[in-house]
Amino acid sequence: MRNAPTILHLDMDAFFASVEQASKPSLRGKAVVVGGIGPRGVVATASYEARVFGVHSAMPTAQARRLAPNAAYLMPRFALYRSISDQVMALLRELSPLVEPLSLDEAFVDLEAGNTAWDEASAREAGARLRADIRAVTGLTGSVGLAASKMLAKIASERAKPDGLVLIEPGTERALLSPMPVRTLPGVGPATGDHLRRAGITTVQELSEAGEDELVRLLGKAHGHALYAMALARDDRPVVAEREAKSVSVEDTYAVDIHDRLRIGLEVRRLADRCVRRLRGAGLSGRTIVLKVRRYDFSTLTRSETLRGPTDDPSVIREAAARLLDSVDTTGGVRLLGVGVSGLADYTQEDLFAQAAGELAEETPEESAPDFGPERPGPAAPEWRAGQDVRHPEYGHGWVQGSGLGRVTVRFETPLSAPGRVRTFRSDEAGLEPADPLPLVAQVEAATAEGETDGG
């Protein structure tokens, strides 16, 4: 581990929800929940105002509605989130060639590799400048952590939230880590945390006091060695420049073995939907669907099916995962299930998958809520979705607040306007049409105008 705090971790604050608040003046300072809005939907991101009520990501939307009934519930606009993420990642690459994105809204940066920082003062200056640049370019806020390792930089950014900067000074790492729960460390998930708790280990200090040999006995050689080093604030993992993802997958381990075949099928369907959300969040699709099943006796089976072309269609992926499950004997119960997609691409060939047409025709948007679906309605039978950008020839740009019973309610406002008026139309209103998102900040238009002035 280096001596200077030149590893930077950036985490955009409540990213999806913050984008929606920035683009919709009437929602600023209000509780906003982004995700699937149907009865089987799942929260993708909650604004800090919604988190006050206990709403958090991965929570069922139905539960979120009970906790925060007055929040605004919006479908995600992934194309917009990706475009803003690209702007943020471009700012990071101006700091260093070593940028390791973890998701659309999170990344590590090695400032030393870019000769951007070499000590505490220069690292703090680089972090402050980055936060200012992000706000100027996107209108959003990000929290920055600075430390001598990736683990500590991520911990620092968590402490900086929201909209802050925290630098962990060299020499203070052990004192900072000691009282923290073991789940703070990378690689300690719910199962490992429970295993350590049963052994009487709940804090990082207790982890270090247990000793390396005891941790190896409890967790195995590789995991035990790694956790002991991290408990001593040692983390030599380098920042790795962006590499092409080979697969996207999700899996769940169950505290009690699942025996009921129907429930196993429902779990596989739920995992397939989660996998689709990750695919779409990364702007990817894939050809090969993979099912992983760990049975009651710890034997692990993997089955795969390769399609004729890449897809991110939830119905297709659910169907393929269900077919793969049909080939697996789950007698005796299962401990773990997983669904993944490999053979990734940045485009889809949905026309190749006619086998899903029947299911798609039968489902309503509410019934397939975990599928975030298309953001624009079809011309024949408009299906307006909450949060969707629209335009009206008389009232201008707006967004859909809600729809149903043959009506659609729209609030007409832009990112640069005051909170706008609400109007309700028939859902087949001739003048109402889908629109592209507008820029969140004025600089884009200002720069264009300045260029035209200079040219004159």
Q: What CATH number is associated with residue 139?
A: 3.30.70.270
Numbered residues of the known binding site for Mg(2+): 11, 105
Residues 162, 12: Cα–Cα separation, whole Å: 9
- Confidence at residue 355, expressed as pLDDT on a 0 to 100 scale: 35
In a domain, residue 109? The reply is yes
- Confidence at residue 245, expressed as pLDDT on a 0 to 100 scale: 65
Same domain for 276 and 136, yes or no, is no
Same domain for 26 and 165, yes or no, is yes
Same domain for 91 and 132, yes or no, is yes
Closest of 224, 249, 235 to residue 302, by C-alpha: 249
- Confidence at residue 244, expressed as pLDDT on a 0 to 100 scale: 62
Same domain for 397 and 421, yes or no, is yes
In a domain, residue 449? The reply is no
Same domain for 57 and 148, yes or no, is yes
Same domain for 133 and 3, yes or no, is yes
- Confidence at residue 188, expressed as pLDDT on a 0 to 100 scale: 84
Numbered residues of the known binding site: 11, 105
- Confidence at residue 452, expressed as pLDDT on a 0 to 100 scale: 45
Same domain for 106 and 221, yes or no, is no
Query: Chunked in runs of 10, what are the mean pLDDT values of the chain (456 residues)?
Result: 87 96 96 85 91 92 94 91 93 94 91 93 96 95 95 94 94 92 85 88 92 89 88 90 77 84 94 92 87 87 88 92 92 91 70 36 32 41 84 95 91 95 92 93 52 43
In a domain, residue 355? The reply is no
Range of the domain at 225: 175-232
How wide is the angle at C-alpha 348 spanned by C-alphas 275 and 73, nearest 5°?
50
In a domain, residue 379? The reply is no
In a domain, residue 360? The reply is no
The catalytic site residues sit at 106
- Confidence at residue 382, expressed as pLDDT on a 0 to 100 scale: 65
The 3-state secondary structure of the chain reads CCCCCCEEEEEECCHHHHHHHHHCHHHCCCCEEEECCCCCCEEEEECHHHHCCCCCCCCEHHHHHHHCCCCEEECCCHHHHHHHHHHHHHHHHHHCCCEEEEECCEEEEECHHHCCCCCHHHHHHHHHHHHHHHHHHHCCCEEEEEECCHHHHHHHHHHHCCCCEEECCCCCHHHHHCCCEHHHCCCCCHHHHHHHHHCCCCEHHHHHHHCHHHHHHHHCHHHHHHHHHHHCCCCCCCCCCCCCCCEEEEEEEEEEEECCHHHHHHHHHHHHHHHHHHHHHCCCEEEEEEEEEEECCCCEEEEEEEEEEEECCHHHHHHHHHHHHHCCCCCCCEEEEEEEEEEEECCCCHHHCHHHHHHHHHCCCCCCCCCCCCCCCCCCCCCCCCCCEEEECCCEEEEEEEEECCEEEEEECCCCCCCCEEEEEECCCCCCEECCCCCCCCHHHHHHHHHHHHHC
Phi, psi of 82 (to 5 degrees): -65, -40
Domain count, the chain: 4
Same domain for 1 and 94, yes or no, is yes
